[in-house]
Chain A
Amino acid sequence: MTTQMFGAPIRRKEDPRLVSGGGRYLDDLGHDALAAAFVRSPHAHARIVEIDAADAVDVEGVVGIYVHEDLPGRVGEPLPLLIPHPTLTHGRTGHALARDEVNHVGEAVVMVVATDRYVAEDACQRIRVTYEQLPPVVGIEAARDGVRLVHDDVPGNVAAHMLQEVGDVDAALAASPHTLTLELDIERSACTPMEGRGVYARWDDERGELRLWSSTQTSTGVRAAVAAKLDLPLAKVECIAPDVGGGFGVKIVHPWPEEVLVPWAARLLGQPVKFTEDRREHFVSAAHERGQLQTVTIGFDDDGRLLALDVKLWHDNGAYTPYGIIVPIITSTQLLGPYKPGAYRCEFWSLYTNTVLVTPYRGAGRPQGCFAMERAMDAIADELALDRTEVRSRNFILPSEMPYDHGLLFQDGRPLKYDSGDFPASLAKIKALVGWDDFAAYRATAEAEGRRVGLGIGCYVEGTGVGPYEGGHIQIETSGRVNVSTGLTSQGQGHETVFAQIVADELGVRLEDVHVTTGDSRKMAYAVGTFASRAAVMSGSAIALAARKVRTKALRIAADALEVSPQDLEIVEGTVRVKGAPATSMSLGTVSVLSNPLRYAFDEAAQAATQFAGTFDPDKPPVADDDEPGLEGRDFYSPTQATFANGMHAAIVETDPVTAEIRILRYCVVHDCGTMINPMIVEGQVHGGVAQGVGGALYERMAYDESGQLLNASFMDFLVPYASEVPTIETDHLETPSPLNPLGIKGAGEAGCIPVSAVIASAIEDAEGFPITRMPISPNDLWELRRRHAAGEIPSLHRATRTAPKETTA
Chain B
Amino acid sequence: MKPAPFVHHAPRTVGEAAAVLGQVGHDGKVLAGGQSLVPILNMRLAAPAHLVDINGVEGLDGIVVGDEAVRVGALVRHAALARSEEAYAALPLLRQATLNVAHPAIRNRGTTVGSIAHADPAGEMPAVLALCDGVVEAVSTRGTREIGWQDFFAGPLETTLSIDELAVAVRFGRFPAGTHTAFRESARRHGDYALAGVGVRVTVADGVVTEARASFVSVTDVPSVLDLGPVLAGTEPGSTAWGVAVDAAAQAVRDHVQPESDIHATSDYRRMLVGELTRRVLDESALAAEGDR
Direct chain A–B contact by Cβ atoms under 8 Å:
yes
Question: Does chain B have a CB within 8 A of A20?
Answer: no
User: Are B4's CB and A122's CB within 8 A?
Assistant: yes
A278 vs B272: C-alpha distance when bound (angstroms): 37
Q: Contact mask A92-122 → B, CB, 8 Å, 1/0?
A: 0000000000000000000000000110011
Interface centre among B39, B188, B272, B273 (most CB of A within 10 A): B188
Q: Given A724-B190, A778-B188, A783-B269, A658 and B276 touching (CB < 8 A)?
A: yes
A residues 699-733 near B (Cβ < 8 Å) are 699, 703, 711-712, 716-717, 719, 721-722, 724-725
Question: Does chain B have a CB within 8 A of A64?
Answer: no
Question: Does chain B have a CB within 8 A of A780?
Answer: yes
A residues 749-799 near B (Cβ < 8 Å) are 778-780, 783-784
Interface residues on B, range: 20 to 34
User: Are B1's CB and A278's CB within 8 A?
Assistant: yes
Cross-interface CB contact of A703 among B4, B44, B263, B272, cutoff 8 Å: B263
User: Are B191's CB and A722's CB within 8 A?
Assistant: yes
CB B106 to nearest CB in A, in angstroms, measures 12
Interface centre among B2, B5, B44, B193 (most CB of A within 10 A): B2
Which residues of A are found within 8 Å of B190, using beta-carbon distances?
722, 724-725
A724 vs B39: C-alpha distance when bound (angstroms): 23
Interface centre among B1, B3, B190 (most CB of A within 10 A): B1
Q: Given A699-B189, A724-B191, A780 and B44 touching (CB < 8 A)?
A: no
Which residues of A are found within 8 Å of B43, using beta-carbon distances?
280
Question: Does chain A have a CB within 8 A of B192?
Answer: yes
Question: Does chain B have a CB within 8 A of A659?
Answer: yes
Which residues of A are found within 8 Å of B186, using beta-carbon distances?
659, 661
Q: Given A279-B1, A783-B269, A783-B272, A711 and B263 touching (CB < 8 A)?
A: yes
A722 vs B272: C-alpha distance when bound (angstroms): 26
CB B279 to nearest CB in A, in angstroms, measures 9
Name the residue of chain A whose CB is nearest to the CB of B266.
A780
User: Are A712's CB and B276's CB within 8 A?
Assistant: no
Q: Contact mask A363-384 → B, CB, 8 Å, 1/0?
A: 0000000000000000000000
Question: Does chain A have a CB within 8 A of B26?
Answer: no
Question: Does chain A have a CB within 8 A of B265?
Answer: yes
A541 vs B52: C-alpha distance when bound (angstroms): 61
Q: Given A780-B264, A780-B266, A125 and B4 touching (CB < 8 A)?
A: yes
Name the residue of chain A whose CB is nearest to the CB of B39.
A716
Cross-interface CB contact of A122 among B5, B193, B264, cutoff 8 Å: B5
User: Are B266's CB and A721's CB within 8 A?
Assistant: no
CB B45 to nearest CB in A, in angstroms, measures 11
Name the residue of chain A whose CB is nearest to the CB of B277.
A659
A780 vs B269: C-alpha distance when bound (angstroms): 6
Which residues of B are found within 8 Å of A122, using beta-carbon distances?
4-5
Which residues of A are found within 8 Å of B265, using beta-carbon distances?
778-780
Which residues of B are found within 8 Å of A725, using beta-carbon distances?
189-190
Which residues of B are found within 8 Å of A279, using beta-carbon distances?
1
Which residues of A are found within 8 Å of B44, using beta-carbon distances?
121, 125
A716 vs B190: C-alpha distance when bound (angstroms): 12
CB B49 to nearest CB in A, in angstroms, measures 14
User: Are B263's CB and A699's CB within 8 A?
Assistant: no
CB B73 to nearest CB in A, in angstroms, measures 28
* Chain A residues with a Cβ closer than 8 Å to the other chain, count: 27
Cross-interface CB contact of A121 among B2, B188, B193, cutoff 8 Å: B2
Q: Given A280-B1, A661-B186, A717 and B263 touching (CB < 8 A)?
A: yes
Q: Tell me if B's interface is mostly helix, strand, loop or mixed.
A: loop
Q: Contact mask B254-279 → A, CB, 8 Å, 1/0?
A: 00000000011110010011001000
CB B292 to nearest CB in A, in angstroms, measures 27
A280 vs B1: C-alpha distance when bound (angstroms): 8
Q: Contact mask B269-293 → A, CB, 8 Å, 1/0?
A: 1001100100000000000000000
A722 vs B103: C-alpha distance when bound (angstroms): 11
Name the residue of chain A whose CB is nearest to the CB of B190.
A724
A766 vs B123: C-alpha distance when bound (angstroms): 37
Which residues of A are found within 8 Å of B188, using beta-carbon distances?
699, 719, 778
CB B191 to nearest CB in A, in angstroms, measures 7
Which residues of B are found within 8 Å of A658, using beta-carbon distances?
272, 276
A280 vs B264: C-alpha distance when bound (angstroms): 19
Q: Contact mask A220-252 → B, CB, 8 Å, 1/0?
A: 000000000000000000000000000000000
Which residues of B are found within 8 Å of A784, using beta-carbon distances?
266, 269
A residues 582-617 near B (Cβ < 8 Å) are none
A121 vs B41: C-alpha distance when bound (angstroms): 12
Which residues of B are found within 8 Å of A721, using beta-carbon distances?
189
User: Are A717's CB and B189's CB within 8 A?
Assistant: no
User: Are A724's CB and B189's CB within 8 A?
Assistant: yes
Name the residue of chain A whose CB is nearest to the CB of B273.
A659
User: Are A118's CB and B2's CB within 8 A?
Assistant: yes
Q: Given A118-B2, A703-B263, A719 and B272 touching (CB < 8 A)?
A: no
CB B162 to nearest CB in A, in angstroms, measures 29
Q: Given A659-B273, A722-B190, A778 and B2 touching (CB < 8 A)?
A: no
User: Are A722's CB and B264's CB within 8 A?
Assistant: no
A712 vs B269: C-alpha distance when bound (angstroms): 19
Which residues of A are found within 8 Å of B191, using beta-carbon distances?
722, 724
Name the residue of chain B whose CB is nearest to the CB of A656.
B276
A613 vs B2: C-alpha distance when bound (angstroms): 65
Name the residue of chain B whose CB is nearest to the CB of A711.
B263
B residues 32-54 near A (Cβ < 8 Å) are 39, 43-44
CB B37 to nearest CB in A, in angstroms, measures 14
Name the residue of chain B whose CB is nearest to the CB of A121.
B2
User: Are A117's CB and B273's CB within 8 A?
Assistant: no
A712 vs B266: C-alpha distance when bound (angstroms): 16
User: Are A717's CB and B1's CB within 8 A?
Assistant: no
User: Are B269's CB and A717's CB within 8 A?
Assistant: no
CB A125 to nearest CB in B, in angstroms, measures 7
Q: Contact mask B173-211 → A, CB, 8 Å, 1/0?
A: 000000000000010111111000000000000000000
CB A691 to nearest CB in B, in angstroms, measures 13
CB B281 to nearest CB in A, in angstroms, measures 14
Q: Contact mask B1-17 → A, CB, 8 Å, 1/0?
A: 11111000000000000
User: Are A659's CB and B276's CB within 8 A?
Assistant: yes
Which residues of A are found within 8 Å of B4, using beta-carbon distances?
121-122, 125
CB B250 to nearest CB in A, in angstroms, measures 10
User: Are A659's CB and B263's CB within 8 A?
Assistant: no
Name the residue of chain B whose CB is nearest to the CB of A661.
B186
A348 vs B207: C-alpha distance when bound (angstroms): 69
A residues 112-142 near B (Cβ < 8 Å) are 117-118, 121-122, 125
Name the residue of chain A whose CB is nearest to the CB of B2.
A118
Which residues of A are found within 8 Å of B5, using beta-carbon distances?
118, 122
CB B4 to nearest CB in A, in angstroms, measures 7
CB A778 to nearest CB in B, in angstroms, measures 7
CB B277 to nearest CB in A, in angstroms, measures 8
A778 vs B192: C-alpha distance when bound (angstroms): 15
User: Are A719's CB and B1's CB within 8 A?
Assistant: no
Name the residue of chain A whose CB is nearest to the CB of B270.
A780
A784 vs B2: C-alpha distance when bound (angstroms): 40
Which residues of B are found within 8 Å of A278, using beta-carbon distances?
1
A712 vs B39: C-alpha distance when bound (angstroms): 15
* 20 pairs of residues in contact across A and B, judged by CB atoms under 8 Å: A121-B2, A121-B44, A125-B44, A279-B1, A280-B1, A658-B272, A661-B186, A699-B188, A699-B189, A703-B263, A716-B39, A716-B193, A717-B263, A719-B188, A721-B189, A724-B189, A724-B191, A725-B190, A779-B269, A784-B266
What 6 A-B pairs have minimum CB-CB distances, sorted nearest first? A724-B190, A703-B263, A118-B2, A278-B1, A780-B269, A780-B265
| Interface of B toward A, CB cutoff 8 Å | 1-5, 39, 43-44, 186, 188-193, 263-266, 269, 272-273, 276
Given A699-B189, A719-B192, 18 additional A-B pairs, CB 8 A: A118-B3, A121-B4, A122-B4, A280-B43, A658-B272, A658-B276, A659-B273, A711-B263, A712-B263, A717-B263, A719-B188, A721-B189, A725-B190, A778-B188, A780-B264, A780-B266, A783-B269, A784-B269
| Interface of A toward B, CB cutoff 8 Å | 117-118, 121-122, 125, 278-280, 658-659, 661, 699, 703, 711-712, 716-717, 719, 721-722, 724-725, 778-780, 783-784
